[in-house]
Amino acid sequence: MQKILQNRRRVVACVALLMLFLGMLLTNFTLSAFGTIQRNNLYLEGSDGVVHAEIFIPQDASSEDKRPGILCSTGGTGNLEVMENICLELARRGYVVITFDPYQVSRSETVKGSDGSDGGTVAYQHLISLDYVDADNTGLLGHSAGTGRIMGIYQSGINTSGIKAMYGLGAVLGATPDMEVDVGFGVGSFDLTSLPKEDPATSTATGTNGAEYLNAKASVNALIGQDSKDTYEFNAWYDTVNGHKMIFYSGFYGHTLAFMVPWSIESVMDFFTTVLPTNTTLENSDLIYLWKSFGAVVALIGFIMLILPLGSWLLDRKFFASLKGTAPEPAGTANLPFWFFFFLPAILSALIANWAIFEGQTWIDANIPFMRAGRTNGFIFWFACNATITLVILVLRFMFDKNIDRNRMKMHLYTGAKGFGKALILGAVVFAVLYAVIMLCTQQFGGEPRFWRIHHVAMSNERIGQFLIYLVPYLFFNLVAGYAQTLGFRIKGLPKWTFTFLILAASMLGSAIYLGNLYVGVFSTGISPVNSAAKSRAVNALFTNIYCYIYTSKIQTYFYNKTGSFYVGSIINGILLCWLSLGMELLTAVV
């Protein structure tokens, strides 16, 4: 039997590694447009600090055949991989395209920029210095807060005379009639994030979808010299007051989906091929970036699958063998009290989410200066509230609920506690191996295992320091959740898979209820309560949480069944979630 299990583990590990390698190969091959584009990572030295950038170069670009250059800026806390879909498709159409990690994000230096571009000016100056780039014909594209970053580049005045076109994706540029550029906007029909409920031009609530609301913006009116105009026809070109062109695109998508859905990317292609034409024969709808997303999903699945046989192999080593044990037989039943206590924490979590995530972020930022991961601070506070709710419910049940087995609650806490130190070491070894494999794959194959906003990246020394700080609360919150879930969700008489399913459902319910309520309001009224950049970033992170729970729930139940202890799975999950958060989070610069 032991030999069969070992063989199965080897097969799973081999399949996982194969999926990881092949997925990253497909991602890299797609990002090279099947060998027709050169893609290079750059570290550019600026006056404020080092900027990490990525450049896409058509293979036939040369000093004799100069190409228009385009800079793409991500928004908020997004790293440059967020813009790769758009960069790839623009490069296929003959543009030299550069994108960058803003200062304080991912692999760029954690410094405060001296202009509003967050390092974009450094990347743009590098772009126009290349002898195969037509520095007199360049464009800028920004998503969300990236629109402010490209405005920072333009307003810097440093060799910006060649900028002929600017595009705002998911937000309206603060363009003015004196700017000698063609302007485009692409805003989804339910894209209301980071926008107030009132039109600043009229001070009246719109009650309409995001694109119609933005049509009435004073800055758009000013560009075409018609202050009284309320709306404009989508996908139609207008002459601006200074003789340039403006167009407004829209479609069925929202803020984050703007750089993922085909009809949004088609609009970007339409704009730039119109105002900065190349000799491309590709249709706007000729897109290949989805192959990259498919490769990333395959790689991520392989990455997650690798955790299980790796941890199981370690448990068979002599040093960790004492952690192995047998999970007790299921004792709980799915009666009315069970469902009450199943849903109660999730409902309370959703009710406090808006307050905890945003007020908690403000409080931690103001009072704990060494915790510098801004968005994560709000979630740390929310997780602390969730852990408190869970502990209070457990204590009350222990004291007053006569239907529960108090001895079982005690033994559940004690089982595996003596091996806590070894469990920490095992989690650290799993993390170290996974980290090494990802870094090796990235170096050898290029591309990254990223999908949605999930991105496992190398961390700088500074981020490793923050990782160690945040690891303590992440471990604690996962231990609390792991204790409660493994104690209560193994139900007598139900199949084994329901154990994982119930943990997944319980983990994601709080985020799902909050997001569901939010988007019901968006679709029914056209007005969203997401009215700040901080809330927009938090909503994206909630979607990320839901994705992560898909594999953390499996990790928890797998290692609980292997050891009879909740500690091992909780520790591995805490380390992985901390890595994910700190690898791509915006860090506050130390001034």
pLDDT confidence of residue 444:
75
pLDDT confidence of residue 591:
59
pLDDT confidence of residue 205:
33
Q: How wide is the angle at C-alpha 300 spanned by C-alphas 298 and 304, nearest 5°?
A: 120
Q: Which of 123, 110, 105 is nearest to 45 (CA)?
A: 123
Q: Which of 211, 205, 232 is nearest to 221 (CA)?
A: 232
What pTM value is reported for the model?
0.88
pLDDT confidence of residue 212:
47
Per residue of the chain (591 residues), give pLDDT as tens.
566 666 788 899 999 999 988 888 898 899 999 999 999 989 999 999 999 999 999 999 999 999 999 999 998 878 888 899 999 999 999 999 999 999 988 888 989 888 889 999 999 999 999 999 999 999 999 998 899 999 999 999 888 999 999 999 987 787 888 889 999 988 877 664 434 444 444 433 333 344 444 444 566 777 777 655 555 677 888 888 888 998 888 887 777 788 889 999 999 999 999 999 999 999 999 999 999 888 888 888 888 899 999 999 999 999 999 999 999 888 888 888 889 889 999 999 999 988 888 888 889 988 998 998 877 898 899 999 999 999 999 998 888 877 788 898 999 999 999 999 999 999 999 999 988 888 887 777 765 555 544 556 677 788 889 999 999 999 999 999 999 999 989 998 889 899 999 999 999 999 988 888 877 766 666 555 665 666 766 777 787 788 889 889 999 999 999 999 999 999 999 999 998 888 777 788 875
pLDDT confidence of residue 520:
76
How many angstroms separate the CA atoms of 17 and 14, rounded?
A: 5
Query: Residues 150, 70: contact at Cβ < 8 Å?
Result: no
CATH of domain 35-279: 3.40.50.1820
pLDDT confidence of residue 270:
97
How many angstroms separate the CA atoms of 28 and 442, rounded?
A: 9
Q: What six digits make up the tokens of 123?
A: 């990347």
How many angstroms separate the CA atoms of 531 and 213, rounded?
A: 14
Strand order in the sheet with 237-239: 37-45, 50-58, 96-100, 67-73, 133-143, 163-169, 182-186, 245-249, 237-239
pLDDT confidence of residue 195:
41
Place of tokens 């031009």: 201
Q: Which of 316, 295, 487 is nearest to 391 (CA)?
A: 487
Q: What six digits make up the tokens of 456?
A: 């496992």
- Work out whether the CA dihedral 173, 177, 181, 182 comes out positive or negative: positive
Q: Which of 386, 548, 534, 526 is nearest to 454 (CA)?
A: 548
pLDDT confidence of residue 207:
34
pLDDT confidence of residue 223:
76
Q: What six digits make up the tokens of 268?
A: 């970007």
Query: Residues 380, 360: contact at Cβ < 8 Å?
Result: yes
CATH 3.40.50.1820 boundaries in the chain: 35-279
pLDDT confidence of residue 446:
67
How many angstroms separate the CA atoms of 33 and 286, rounded?
A: 12
Q: 58-62: list long-range contacts, CB under 8 Å, 24+ apart.
A: 58/91, 58/92, 58/94, 58/95, 58/96, 59/35, 61/94, 61/96, 61/132, 61/133, 62/132
Q: Which residues, other chains included, contact 278 with Cβ-Cβ below 8 Å and sequence gap of 6+?
A: 67, 68, 93, 94, 95
